[in-house]
């Protein structure tokens, strides 16, 4: 009796410990975010893609909620989480190489300092672009655009290429267009879209390579009073996508963009409520740090 009682006590303790996270809600971040039916290497995906086949689930700077932004780890994670596209930011090194980086300095996301355009590719490649996010990603490197294209060309992953501050990099449009052509990724429906906040740059891009769809990014600060019909009409001359800050989006804007035969991919979605509101408004996809938000 005594030994049965002891065993019973141990079993009770075990069950209590195992059940604790369920009763208290203390669960790892990836598990609390969603109620899932499919799981891939620890990051769980909920249900089915929204409006499967049409809705674009775009991972912002890769799956940047789970891996350091704009690194191969973040792009691999985006694909693993079934994103249709991943977004990345392109700039240029001092010696003329196209590199994938958001900020115009390396200070925030690497262990180095200085302007991207003042550093050579060798200097940029020597930096650790992962540790700032988590020790698990120590040693992640800043990728070149060519490395990313080579890795994902021919896979199901689409790539949304943002030209970041192209005014700092004269001729960058022609350089990106040349690289896409060299990699044979320049044909329409080649799963590549090019976008920028700099609309003059996008006009140039469209003239250089009309086979690649172009997107205009629309910031809240520049368009807080809304996008006028005149501006939308102007966009139709060269753009296929109007990609605004999500705070600017309602169903009326979505309809106005659709009436002009363009698509809308708002940025940057970081919670389910926001994703659901945008989906309800009829957007064509979302640009998100958390790809599971594009599933229901």
Residues 230-249, mask of contacts with ligand G3P (x by CB under 6 A): -------------x------
Q: What is the nearest approach in angstroms of ligand G3P to the Cβ of residue 93?
A: 19
Q: Which of 102, 199, 206, 258 is catalytic?
A: 102
Give 36 or 115: the residue with its C-beta nearer to ligand G3P. 115
Q: Are 275 and 64 in contact (CB under 8 A)?
A: no
Tokens standing for 57? Answer: 């689930």
Measured from each CB, the residue nearest to ligand G3P is 267
- Per CB under 6 A, does 173 bind ligand G3P? no
**Residues in touch with Ca ion (CB under 5 A):** 89, 162
- Per CB under 6 A, does 217 bind ligand G3P? yes
Q: What is the size of the binding site for ligand G3P (CB under 6 A)?
A: 10
206 catalytic residue (yes or no): no
- Per CB under 6 A, does 89 bind ligand G3P? yes
Q: Is 97 left (phi over 0), alpha (psi -120 to 50) or beta?
A: beta
| 222 CB burial (10 A radius; 0-12, 13-18, 19+) | exposed
Q: Please tell me what DSSP assigns to residue 174.
A: H
- Candidate list 75, 78, 87, 253; residue touching ligand G3P; CB under 6 A: 87
Q: Which residues of 89-99 are buried (b: 16+ CB within 10 A; e: fewer)?
A: bbbbbbeebbb
| 240 contact, one of ligand G3P, Ca ion, none, CB 5-8 Å limit per kind | none
CB neighbour list of residue 72: distance below 8 Å, 6 or more residues apart: 140, 141, 143, 147, 148, 151
Residue ranges of the alpha helices (H) in 25-71? 29-33
- Candidate list 267, 275, 279, 290; residue touching ligand G3P; CB under 6 A: 267
Q: What is the nearest approach in angstroms of Ca ion to the Cβ of residue 10?
A: 53
Tokens standing for 147? Answer: 């490395």
Cα separation, 253 vs 39, whole angstroms? 35
Residues 138-167, mask of contacts with ligand G3P (x by CB under 6 A): ------------------------x-----
54 catalytic residue (yes or no): no
Q: Are 14 and 259 in contact (CB under 8 A)?
A: no
Q: Are 247 and 220 in contact (CB under 8 A)?
A: yes
**Residues within the interface to ligand G3P (CB under 6 A):** 60, 87, 89, 102, 162, 217, 243, 267-268, 287
The set of catalytic residues is: 60, 102
């Amino acid at each position: 009796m005594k030994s049965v009682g002891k065993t019973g006590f141990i079993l009770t303790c075990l069950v209590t410990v195992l059940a604790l996270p369920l009763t208290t809600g203390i669960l790892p971040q990836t598990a609390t975010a969603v109620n899932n039916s499919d799981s891939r290497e620890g990051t769980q995906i909920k249900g089915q893609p929204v409006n499967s086949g049409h809705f674009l689930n775009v991972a912002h700077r890769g799956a940047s909620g789970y891996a350091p932004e704009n690194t191969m780890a973040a792009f691999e994670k985006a694909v693993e989480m079934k994103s249709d596209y991943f977004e990345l930011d392109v700039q240029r090194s001092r010696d003329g190489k196209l590199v994938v980086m958001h900020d115009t300095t390396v200070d925030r996301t690497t262990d180095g300092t200085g302007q991207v355009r003042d550093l050579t590719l060798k200097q940029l490649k020597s930096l650790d672009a992962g540790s700032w996010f988590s020790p698990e990603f120590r040693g992640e490197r800043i990728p070149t655009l060519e490395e990313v294209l080579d890795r994902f060309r021919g896979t199901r992953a689409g790539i949304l290429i943002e030209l970041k501050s192209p005014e700092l990099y004269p001729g960058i449009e022609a350089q990106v267009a040349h690289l896409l052509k060299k990699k044979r990724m320049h044909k329409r429906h080649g799963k590549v879209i090019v976008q920028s906040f700099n609309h003059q740059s996008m006009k140039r891009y469209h003239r250089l390579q009309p086979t690649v769809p172009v997107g205009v990014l629309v910031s809240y600060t520049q368009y807080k009073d809304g996008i006028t019909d005149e501006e939308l009409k102007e966009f139709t001359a060269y753009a296929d996508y109007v990609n605004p800050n999500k705070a600017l989006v309602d169903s009326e804007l979505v309809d106005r963009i659709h009436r002009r035969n363009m698509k809308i991919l708002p940025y940057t979605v970081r919670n389910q409520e926001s994703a659901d509101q945008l989906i309800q408004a009829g957007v064509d996809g979302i640009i998100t740090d958390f790809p599971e938000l594009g599933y229901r």
